[in-house]
Amino acid sequence: MLQGQRWLSYWQRLRAEFPLPWTVFWAGLLARLLIMPFATHSDFIHLEWISACTAAKGESVFRMQILLVYFHTAYQRLVSFLLPSIANLCGSFADFNFTGTSDWFIFINRPQVFRELFVLKLPYLVFDVACALLLYRLGKSKKQAAFLFKFWWLNPLIVFATYFFARHETITLFVILLSIYWFKQNRFERSFIALGAAVALRYYALFLLPFYVLSLDATWKQRLKWFALGLGPWAAVNGMTWLFFGSPEASRLATYPTEVYVLPMKFSIAAWDNVYIFPLLYFLLLLHRFYNREYGLRALQRYGLISLLLLFATAYVGQSPHYWPWFIPLLALEAAEDRRLAPLHLVLTLCLFAYSFIGSRSTAGYLLGAIAPDFFWSLPSPIEWIGGFFSPETAISLAHTAFSATALWIAFLVFRQLQPPPLADSTETA
């Protein structure tokens, strides 16, 4: 009884101290719940199939981002009592073909598909809520906290990537937000370990690590220590895979089509000689960071955001909407300070949705196939409709161009806020 009263008073105190915008919370939750059991992409099914096979056969798998596979395997085991049919998922496909659509069609016709989609997406919802709450806590005032919460919780990119596309990005984003939270609280060891965990989960977090290290006014010895801490969890995962599988996880990176996704934009100098645009811009930004004397969270979030926007402006991400949320937390934090970025984010979102037409039906009607498979499988994608009037390739490329322009414009606006590096000693002597 007493325990119950204590919890009640704690809950009341929490509500009084942090008055969440409840209207937004319930509306956002309703939107998420409405989508959860009915939408999926074959990428999600592929991961769940691998996890089901790992759970069913008890065999270890050696894959890129192995932590996420084991996370899903453990979760499937945990909720197996809720999903009696999940055990047969492994046997349903000899080798799940996630680039085709026939196995996807077979999955969405499973008798308990709604339950399976709902329960398997529950961890994403938990991490999604946790991300929103962490962003809320990162606000400097009540007003800013409410803005940050709404920016995340009503963000169509988050909803699309996590619930329609059914991908696990909220897990990594939560860990990144945690590292930002601890960075803000000057708990740098924790912050770097959390960032390291994010790198172990999703490699893209590695792009942020140099900015974390260089955004601290510290000696090089300390910076080296933090850099090592930031790489520690990933190194540990690599050590484990090397021990159990005879080869480090990083070796799987060789199978990743980097040229297709990360480095497609380039200047061809000669045969076998290219200048890649994203690495070029990234190194320039890194040099700017190196010579800049601006330290702290604000500098970190600005440099981090610019680097991710540069990546998105130059990379191939149209068919992979699950990558889209990567820049959302940093953009939210920056938009909370500079409200001009909020409408630009809206333009970015519209461009990304138009760019996603590149996936044709796989990023349109197929996502809702579980509701009525034959109907949604027959539904033409918007690009097929556009194709009746205009070249689909040109339409998609224009959307991508507009997206890149907006991303670069936001990056420029944020970059302009950064203090220019000092002009060395000449000014002092003058």
Partner 1 sequence: MIAGDNMSARSGKIFRITLRLLALLATLACLAACTLENIAARQEKASQLWPELVEGESYGQTFVSQRANLYRIDLGTATYMRVNSAEVIFHLRADPTAAEDLATRIIPAAEIQNDRPTSITFPPLPDSQQRSYYFFLESPEAHPGNAVTVYANEYDQYPDGTAFRGGQAVDGDLVFTAYSQETFSPGDVLSVFWGRLRQDAPFAALYGLMLLGVIVQCCRAFLKPNSNDQN
What is the footprint of partner 1 within residues 274-333 (CB under 8 A)?
none
Nearer to partner 1, 85 or 417 (CB): 85
DSSP 239-283: HHHHHHHSS-GGGGGGGS-HHHHTS--EEEEETTEEEEHHHHHHH
Is residue 365 a contact partner of residue 381, using CB atoms and an 8 Å limit? yes
The yes or no reply on residue 19 touching partner 1 (CB under 8 A) is: yes
Which residue, 6 or 15, is less far from partner 1 as judged by CB? Answer: 15
Nearer to partner 1, 145 or 335 (CB): 145
- Segment contacting partner 1 (CB under 8 A): 107-115, 189-197, 229-237, 262-270? 107-115
Q: Which is nearer to partner 1, 140 or 143 (CB)?
A: 143
Q: Which of 8, 14, 34, 284 binds partner 1 (CB under 8 A)?
A: 34
Q: Which of 343, 380, 420, 422 binds partner 1 (CB under 8 A)?
A: 380
Point out which span in 112-120, 249-257, 264-272, 405-413 binds partner 1 (CB under 8 A): 112-120
The minimum distance between CB 387 and partner 1, in angstroms, equals 12
Which of residues 229 and 370 has its CB atom nearest to partner 1 in the complex?
Answer: 370
Cα–Cα distance list, 66 to 18, 241, 284, 313, 348 (Å): 37, 9, 32, 28, 31
One of 107, 118, 164, 183 touching partner 1 (CB under 8 A) = 118
Distance CA 234, CA 201 (A): 8
Binding residue (CB under 8 A) for partner 1 from 23, 255, 268, 427: 23
Cα 358 to Cα 92: distance, rounded to the nearest angstrom: 29
Distance (Å, rounded) from C-alpha 334 to C-alpha 339?
Answer: 8
Distance CA 430, CA 421 (A): 17
User: What is the rounded distance in angstroms from the CA atom of residue 159 to the CA atom of residue 151?
Assistant: 12
Residue 6 or 143 having the CB closest to partner 1:
143
Q: How far is the CB of 118 from partner 1 (least distance, A)?
A: 7
Nearer to partner 1, 114 or 415 (CB): 114
Should residue 115 be labelled a site residue for partner 1 when binding is judged by CB under 8 A? Answer: yes
Closest CA to 319 of 277, 275, 357: 357
Written as one letter, the residue type at 201 is L
Residue 386 binding partner 1, by CB under 8 A: no
Among 4, 111, 246, 388, binds partner 1 (CB under 8 A): 111
Q: How far apart are CA 76 and CA 122, in angstroms?
A: 11
DSSP 36: T
Residues 116/83, Cβ–Cβ less than 8 Å: yes
Segment near partner 1 (CB under 8 A); pick from 244-252, 310-318, 371-379, 395-403: 371-379
* Binding of residue 342 to partner 1 (CB under 8 A): no
Total residues binding partner 1 (CB under 8 A): 35
Residue 325 CB contacts under 8 Å (≥ 6 apart), including other chains: 155, 157, 158, 161, 162, 169, 170, 173
* 86 near partner 1, rule: CB under 8 A: no
Examine residue 374 and tell whether it contacts partner 1 (CB under 8 A).
Answer: yes
Establish if 79 lies at the interface with partner 1 (CB under 8 A).
no
Tell me if 52 sits within 8 A of 87, measured CB to CB: yes
Q: How many other β-carbons are positioned within 10 Å of the β-carbon of residue 426?
A: 8
Q: Is 122 in the site for partner 1 (CB under 8 A)?
A: no
Site string for partner 1, 137-156 (x = CB under 8 A): -----xx-xxx---------
Which of residues 30 and 78 has its CB atom nearest to partner 1 in the complex?
30
- 187-to-7, 181, 190 alpha-carbon distances in Å: 29, 9, 6
From the list 19-27, 158-166, 170-178, 221-229, the region that binds partner 1 by CB under 8 A is 19-27
Whether the CB-CB separation of 253 and 62 falls below 8 Å is answered with no
**Could you tell me which of 252, 289, 228, 281 has the C-alpha nearest to residue 421?**
289
Q: What is the nearest approach in angstroms of partner 1 to the Cβ of residue 327? A: 24
Q: How far is CA 405 from the centre of its chain?
A: 21
Rule CB under 8 A: choose which of 375, 385, 390, 412 binds partner 1: 375
Q: Which is nearer to partner 1, 152 or 226 (CB)?
A: 152
- Applying CB under 8 A, the residues found at the interface with partner 1 are 19-27, 29-30, 33-34, 37, 111-115, 118, 142-143, 145-147, 370-375, 377-380
